[in-house]
Structures are given as structure tokens and as C-alpha cells.
């Protein structure tokens, strides 16, 4: 009885260049291997000093489930406080200046 010990995917490595618009082109062989089509969405994440691309799920709930747990807080209140803090740091067109912490 023969057992196939090869992984189901091949290991690919390719050099890519960042364009003046900070864009890269995924090599055709990699795109074919992954079944990527024109218009597919990917998510870029920094992981241990590397940029890692993941296919973005078409379903919003599945996409949101890919975010690391607890990064923005453990409870609804902690997450709301995180969002409010981020909003204080910038202005939104038409809404005036950012809120100051003394108000």
C-alpha cells in the first residue's frame, strides 16, 4: 500500500516588485494554484514582521470572524471605548474638529 506524503499544494516562491503606487502583482502560477480570479478580494495582515495575504470571505460574518479575538477589547464596552478613543484622534469632514479630552 502506497501512502502519498506530498503536501496537497506546492511551495512557491517568487520575487515581486512594489510599484510607485505600492502595488504588487501576484505571479500567475500562484494565482492559478490558489484559484484567484480577477476581482477577488484579499486581506493583507502583518504577522511577525511579514505581510500575509488571505482570501477575504464573501460572507461578512465569516470575514469579521477572521479578526484576532480580544485585540479591540473583551467586552462591548471595551470595544466601544476603543472606537471612541480612535475617533477623538481625528476630524471628520463636515463634523468639525475632533473632541478634546477636556470637554
What 3-state class would DSSP assign to 46? strand
Query: Cβ contacts of residue 28 below 8 Å, gap of 6+?
Result: none
Mean pLDDT of the chain: 76
Q: Measured between alpha carbons, how far is 75 from 57 in angstroms, rounded to an integer?
A: 25
Query: What residues does each domain of the chain span?
Result: 28-88
Q: What cell does 23 get? A: 502595488
pLDDT tens readout for residues 47-70 = 888 988 888 777 666 666 666 677
pLDDT tens readout for residues 9-32 = 566 788 999 999 999 999 998 899
CATH 2.60.40 fits 28-88, yes or no: no
pLDDT tens readout for residues 78-94 = 878 887 887 776 666 66
Amino acid at each position: 500500500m502506497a501512502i502519498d506524503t506530498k503536501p496537497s499544494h506546492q511551495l512557491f516562491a517568487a520575487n515581486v516588485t512594489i510599484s510607485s503606487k505600492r502595488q504588487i502583482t501576484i505571479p500567475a502560477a500562484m494565482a492559478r494554484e490558489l484559484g484567484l480570479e480577477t476581482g477577488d478580494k484579499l486581506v493583507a495582515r502583518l504577522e511577525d514582521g511579514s505581510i500575509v495575504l488571505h482570501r477575504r470571505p464573501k460572507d461578512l460574518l465569516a470575514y469579521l470572524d477572521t479578526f484576532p479575538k480580544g485585540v479591540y477589547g473583551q467586552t462591548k464596552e471595551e470595544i466601544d471605548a476603543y472606537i471612541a478613543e480612535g475617533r477623538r484622534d481625528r476630524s471628520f469632514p463636515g463634523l468639525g474638529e475632533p473632541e478634546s479630552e477636556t470637554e
